[in-house]
Structure 1
Amino acid sequence: MSILIALIGIILLLGTAYLMSNDKKKINFKAVGIMLAFQAVLTALLLGTSGGLKVIDTIASAFNKLLSYASEGVNFVVGGWIPEGGSPFFVNVLLPIIFTSALLSVLTHLKVLPYLIKYIGGFISKITGLPQVESFNAVNSMFFGQSEAILAIKSAINNLDKNRLFVVSTSAMASVSAAIIASYMTMLPAKYVLIAAVLNVFSALIMSSIITPVKATKEDSEIVIDDMIHTKNVFDAIGTGALDGGKVVLVVSAMLMGYLGLLGLLNGIFDSLVGMELTTIVGYIFSPIAFLMGIPADEILRAGSIMGTKLISNEFVAILDFQPYIGEVSEKTLSILSTFLMSFANFSSIGIIAGAVQAINGFKAKEVSSFGLKMLLVATMASILSATLVGLFN
């Protein structure tokens, strides 16, 4: 029954996207069909076969190995601060981001990642018929943060119409950064974190290209690899990456302290005024969506609360809210929520993306701000699609 409900949920989701479309005649149904089929096959192979699970375990082991290398630098700097048996969130989850950011920066400087992303994006563009810029950006967003992904296509931004700019911006919001994935994997099951990162590439393209259809043309902009290179040499790349990672750590830390404190305050206010915490109210609002995603009826209120928390704060706050219940919920709920939480789709991301575009073109930044709420809605719909697909195979 949960599978049937989830299938109905996907149909309703795609139907809603169609109704929201600003140019229904130009929707590339072939591209949508190809990407949906690819998602279904990939999810079935990775989660439904022993070979697929082995692949995921191998990748997860590689990330764990990276974390062990990261811990060498972390322990050297702050090892004496940690009490015996202690496991501070800041040290074990956030500080390793500095190492992974430095590693990504080096791979970018050496043009390993830029060419990999360009060719994968080019392949997606070729089989779907979507423009190269949008395809490249969707893949690029899987590796880099929202601002970095936008800046990597700065030479093309000026030539994008409003629909194409919407697709690019939504892809950036619906993704997660590879620099943070290892940290997520210390908090949630690795297999769902990894598969979400891939599925979100296609879910963002599916949802946004239905709602704001785009079409490849002969004059489609070429991807300029040099737009991704901002360092002079390997040592500059290491330093720049480490500093960028440090900024992410501080930003996430500040946001967590602010959001968790304010969320606690709001919960207290709502509990005093209406006898119900804000997160519980949000849970009731999101419960129908959770049900249509395939989450068991007795768990939809808690799931809805966590989904709503992510939207009004960020994924880290929602994951911390979810962690105490991981051992209590069903595997289906665990898979769906873990996948849903793997994106930057929240209110603060509107400003981040608009700010990145502002650094390139002020007029285009105003366009991003004008469709900011719609972009958040569509990025959230992309997360729902990815999560529902994963739930079908659990």
Structure 2
Amino acid sequence: MDIIFGLLAIILVLGIGFLMSNDRKNINYTGIGVMLVFQLITTWFVFNTPIGQWIIGTISAGFTNLINYGKEGVAFVLPNVANVGEDGSSASVFFLDVLLIIIFFATILSVLTYLRILPLIIKYIGMFISWITGLPKVESFNAVNSMFFGQSEALIAIKSQFHHLNDNRLYIVSASAMGSVSASIVGAYLGMLPDEFVLVAIPLNMFSALILGSLIAPVKVKREEDRVDVKDVSGAKSFFEAMGNGALDGGKIALIVAAMLIAFIASLELVNGIIAFFFNGVTLQTILGYVLAPIAFLMGIPSGELVQAGSLMGTKVVTNEFVAMLELQSLINDASLSDKTVGIVSVFLTSFANFSSIGIIAGTVQGIDPDKGASVSKFGLKLLIGATLGSILSATIAGLFL
């Protein structure tokens, strides 16, 4: 029965995307079908085969080692900060154990970019996706690039091609940026959620963003307008300058995330305080939980956990993924949710699809091309809906195999 409801959810998501389409005659159904098959095969392979579990376990172990190396750097700079709870046991300090690890991951990404290793990997994976789906190279490259770099960085990487992007193409590249995550903060996610769900969510959400983008804003381009250039992708002049730039960028990201969390969590408590004044015991999360419970049901969430799952999903959309992940982490620690719910919700949360991302993407595009920045602002809400539908699609597919 769960499989039937899951398939209904997939059909519903694709149906909404079709109804939102601004050019239904030119929808690339073949490419969409290919990407759906890739999602299903990838998820089945990772969750239901020994080889897939070994691969994801090996990748997870690699990330764990990197996180531990990052913690050594944090411990050297802050040796006297003791992570000790009230009972004398070791306690986690979010800023130290999660956010500061971003600095090390950003440094690695910067070095790999300077050495031209990462750009070539991204380029050829993007070309492969373009070849099997029929999508333009720029859109495919940007989708892969968005898996490694943040929203702003991914869009800046294709700024030389912006003069070729009409509104539909601009929608797809923006959707890829919003539906993805940055590799520099994956380490932070892994510090809060089960590794296998975060890692499988990254490619799933990349394909989901392209699927919904291809439905909502179909594109056809001329060959001369479809080129990808990876030259001079790093501004660093030396290996050590790349390390320094990466460290500084990572530090900025860590502080930005910390500032946003303070603002969002405090604002959420303020809203809950206002709601409680009129309706005792009711919170915004509870309201969102009931609103999104039907969607959670179709996604495969067990009936007794629908409101909790819907609450986490809604919190992510109206605030950001970190706020929702922190709430999910506490539920995981308390064993309040089943493994299936944890997996589905974790995949849903692993993306930048939230209201604040509209401003980030519009601001980045505005800096590259003011006219196109105005276009992004106009379809900002449509962008958020499409990216959220993509997260639902990814989480539903994950739920089919859990």
Give the letter aligned to residue 334 of structure 1: V
Match of residue 238 from structure 1:
243
Give how far 1:125 is off.
0.3
- Specify the code of the residue in structure 2 equivalent to 1:9: A
Is residue 189–residue 198 contact of structure 2 (8 Å, CA) maintained in 1? yes
Letter in structure 2 aligned against 1:343 = S
Residue 325 of structure 1: aligned partner: 331
Q: Which residue of 2 aligns with 1:393?
A: 401
Residue 101 of structure 1: aligned partner: 106
1:250 corresponds to which letter in structure 2? L
Whole-Å separation in 1 of the counterparts to 2:143 and 2:83: 42
Contact 1:129 1:215 in 2 (8 A): no
Whether 1:141 and 2:146 are equivalent positions in the alignment is yes
Q: Answer yes or no: is the 8 Å Cα contact 1:295–1:332 preserved in 2.
A: yes
**Residue of structure 2 aligned with 1:338, choices 323, 341, 346:** 346
Match of 2:115 in 1: 110
Tell me, yes or no, if structure 1 residue 292 matches structure 2 residue 298. yes
Residue matched to 2:360: 352
CA contact (8 A) 1:71 1:96 kept: yes
SS in 2 for 1:279: helix
**Correspondence 1:314 to 2:320:** yes
2:308 alignment partner, one of 295, 302, 305: 302
Runs of 4 or more, structure 1, over 3 Å off, are none
Structure 1: distance between partners of 2:184 and 2:195: 15
Tell whether 2:160 aligns with 1:155.
yes
How far does the alpha carbon of each residue in 1:218-274 deviate from its partner, in whole angstroms, 9 at most, with x for none?
A: 223311112522222111111111000000100000111111111111111101113
- Tell me the TM-score normalized by structure 1: 0.98
* Partner residue in 1 for 2:288: 282
Aligned equivalents of 2:166, 2:352: Cα separation in 1: 24
- TM-score between both structures, scaled by the size of structure 2: 0.96
Compare 266-275 and 251-260 and name the one that shifted more. 266-275
Q: Which moved more, 1:253-262 or 1:266-275?
A: 266-275
- Whole-angstrom distance in 2 between the partners of 1:11 and 1:221: 31
Contact kept in structure 2, 1:336 and 1:387, CA below 8 Å: yes
Q: The residue matched to 1:225 in structure 2 has which SS?
A: coil
The answer (yes or no) to whether the contact 1:130–1:216 under 8 Å persists in 2 is no
Match of 1:206 among 200, 207, 211: 211
Do the aligned residues in 2 keep the contact of 1:140 with 1:149 (CA within 8 Å)? Answer: yes
Would you say the 8 A contact 2:83–2:93 is kept in 1? no
CA distance in 2, matches of 1:331, 1:72: 31
Range with greater deviation from structure 2 (95-104 or 268-277)? 268-277
- For these two proteins, the number of residue pairs brought into alignment is 394
Letter in 1 for 2:294: P
**Structure 1 residue 13 corresponds to structure 2 residue 17:** no
Q: Which residues of structure 2 form unaligned runs of 5+?
A: 85-89
Post-superposition offset of 1:138: 0.3
Matched, 1:370 2:375: no
SS in structure 2 at match of 1:141: helix
